[in-house]
Amino acid sequence: MLLVSFPAGPLQANCYFVSRGPGTGCAIVDPGMNSLDGIEKVVQEHDLRPAAVLVTHGHFDHMWQASEVAARYDIPVWIHPSDRHLLADPMAAISNESATMLRRQLGITDVPDFTEPADVRDAVDGAKIEVDGLTFTVDHVPGHTPGTVAYRVDYDGPEDVSQLMFSGDFLFAGSIGRTDLDGGSHPAMLKSLADHVLPLADNIVVLPGHGPQTSIGRERATNPFLAELTSE
């Protein structure tokens, strides 16, 4: 199995590639701001054939260039229906005041005319997404946004790892996603953690939308939000 990633854009959102190996079809997870050049470089270096874009949620730092990547490689974009409208209007997830502040802070002077990709598919809970021999399972985990999802895929490698989980802004090393933005819900977040994280095996590697990787076991033991749920 081949796994490659790089942080993209001013918010350093992790963009991931996963495939069976060089020369095979790959899934691209969360092509955010300023990611296209890096994506093209990884594709060339590893002789990959992009086959699908998997979006964990509709915030701009995770899907700013989803449409461009989809058009560049003529591939579908998977996103939960509750966040689908953000493909055509990424700033709709935040207030006008917050959008103005972000543009100033991040130096965004020219917002492109966004359009929905030609081929958009529903990443609903329990869906199975086939990408050149790999099967991704969708977990709908609302809380950060109504349409946040995580993608799990079986791991084929020498380490004692059963699966990889691409968690977006749902679960981080030592923390969870914020719930104070438009569409966020702390009760929904806690329910998502209880329903979709606590039952998982400890040896699942978690690949978050920002920051370093972790594991379900490590988070079960050290993440204060999961510890609270466990004690309850």
Angle between helix 224-231 and helix 186-196 axes, rounded to 10 deg: 70
Residue 9: per-residue pLDDT: 87
Residue 171: per-residue pLDDT: 97
Residue 2's contacts (CB-CB under 8 Å, 6 or more residues apart) are: 17, 18, 19, 20, 21, 22, 24, 26, 46, 48
Angle between helix 36-45 and helix 66-73 axes, rounded to 10 deg: 40
Q: What is the domain extent for residue 145? A: 2-231
Least confident window among 68-82, 96-110, 159-173, 195-209: 96-110
Q: Say which residue the tokens 């004690």 belong to.
A: 231
Beta-strand ranges (E) seen in 33-182 are 49-54, 77-79, 120-122, 128-131, 134-140, 149-154, 163-168, 171-172, 175-176
Closest by CA position to 162, among listed 220, 217, 227: 217
Q: Are strands 13-19 and 25-29 parallel, antiparallel or unpaired?
A: antiparallel
> Which tokens hold the place of 12?
């350093």
Count structural domains, the chain.
Answer: 1
User: CA–CA separation, 202 vs 180, rounded Å?
Assistant: 29
Region 80-93: mean pLDDT is 88
**pLDDT tens digits, one per residue of 103-127:** 666 666 555 667 899 999 999 999 9
DSSP codes of every residue in 60-80: HHHHTTHHHHHHHHT--EEE-
Residue 102: per-residue pLDDT: 61
> CATH number, domain at 212?
3.60.15.10
The pTM assigned to this predicted structure is: 0.92
| One-letter identity of residue 140 | H
> Helix or strand or coil: residue 31?
coil
Q: Radius of gyration of the chain from Cα atoms? A: 17
Angle at 148 between CA 187 and CA 11, to 5 degrees: 105
Is residue 95 over pLDDT 60? Answer: no
